[in-house]
């Protein structure tokens, strides 16, 4: 049986609607879906959300929306820490990695949110080693396929159990 789960670490803490003002500047807008294979007693999990992303791995903001357009979570990060705002309130974290690890702790997962802005821009994150592959690169245990990027599609796969596939469809491409 497949259950619906929030697609990123941020959405795991959601419950309802959060209203957060957006920062000025260029935003990357799109849809993402996350699929995790079943493992042990944990069933397969899938989720689809819309997102707006501003910034990079050092400083930025990520807004998440339900398929119907209701904002469910907002994450902000800077060198001095990160925060997650949901309908349940605001939670502070030591940094973006702590936010991602903390919110995914229940699943034992860690989506590399600091690398995501660079991946969406079609490049490996400069803060971690990467290996070029046919059509993309491998980084942080993920294989990022950029072959569909001209059409706004990016797929990142992690084979380590449980297998995870992150699919992104960009409406506006990152620069």
- pLDDT band per the 50, 70, 90 thresholds, residue 39: confident
Cα–Cα nearest to 50, from 32, 38, 35: 32
pLDDT, one tens digit per residue, over 15-27 is: 333 344 555 568 8
User: Which residue ranges form the domains of the chain, and what is each CATH number?
Assistant: 3-172 (2.50.20)
Global pTM? 0.80
Which stretch of 7-11, 18-22, 97-101, 141-145 has the lowest confidence by average pLDDT? 7-11
The phi, psi pair for 101, rounded to 5°, reads -65, -40
Cα–Cα nearest to 149, from 129, 126, 123, 127: 123
Indicate if the pLDDT at residue 62 is higher than 70.
yes
pLDDT, residue 6, reads 39
Cα–Cα nearest to 51, from 7, 109, 115, 101: 7
pLDDT, residue 23, reads 57
């Amino acid at each position: 049986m497949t259950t619906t789960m929030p697609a990123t670490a941020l959405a795991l803490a959601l419950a309802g609607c959060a209203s957060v003002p957006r920062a000025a500047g260029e935003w990357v807008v799109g849809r993402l879906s996350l699929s995790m294979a079943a493992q042990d007693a944990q069933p397969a999990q899938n989720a689809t959300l819309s997102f707006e992303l501003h910034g990079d791995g050092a400083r930025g903001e990520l807004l998440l929306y339900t398929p119907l357009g209701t904002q469910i979570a907002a994450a902000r990060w800077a060198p001095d820490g990160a925060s997650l705002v949901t309908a349940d309130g605001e939670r502070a974290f030591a940094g973006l990695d702590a936010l991602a690890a903390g919110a995914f702790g229940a699943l034992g997962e860690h989506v590399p949110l600091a690398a995501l802005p660079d991946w969406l821009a079609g490049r490996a994150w400069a803060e971690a080693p990467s290996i070029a592959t046919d059509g993309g690169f491998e980084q942080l245990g993920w294989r990022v396929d950029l072959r569909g990027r001209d059409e706004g599609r990016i797929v990142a796969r992690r084979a380590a159990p449980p297998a995870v596939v992150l699919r992104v469809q960009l409406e506006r491409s990152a620069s």
